[in-house]
């Protein structure tokens, strides 16, 4: 199994629990942009 796919699934699940935090959403979108740009 691919670890990056597992990681994205975990991040998605984690974000669901913290959806009310705008700061975390900003961090998450920035992180995803960096990862998709790096890959």
Q: What is 15-37 written as a DSSP string?
A: HHHTTT-HHHHHHHHHHHHHHHH
pLDDT over threshold 80, residue 16: no
Can you tell me the distance from the alpha carbon of 27 to that of 22, in angstroms, rounded to the nearest whole number? 9
The per-residue pLDDT for range 19-37, each reduced to its tens digit, is 666 677 788 888 888 888 8
Q: What is the value of pTM for the model shown?
A: 0.38
What does the pLDDT read at residue 29?
A: 86
């Amino acid at each position: 199994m691919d670890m990056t796919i597992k990681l994205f699934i975990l991040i998605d699940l984690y974000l669901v629990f913290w959806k009310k935090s705008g700061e975390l959403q900003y961090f998450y979108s920035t992180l995803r942009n960096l990862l998709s740009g790096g890959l």
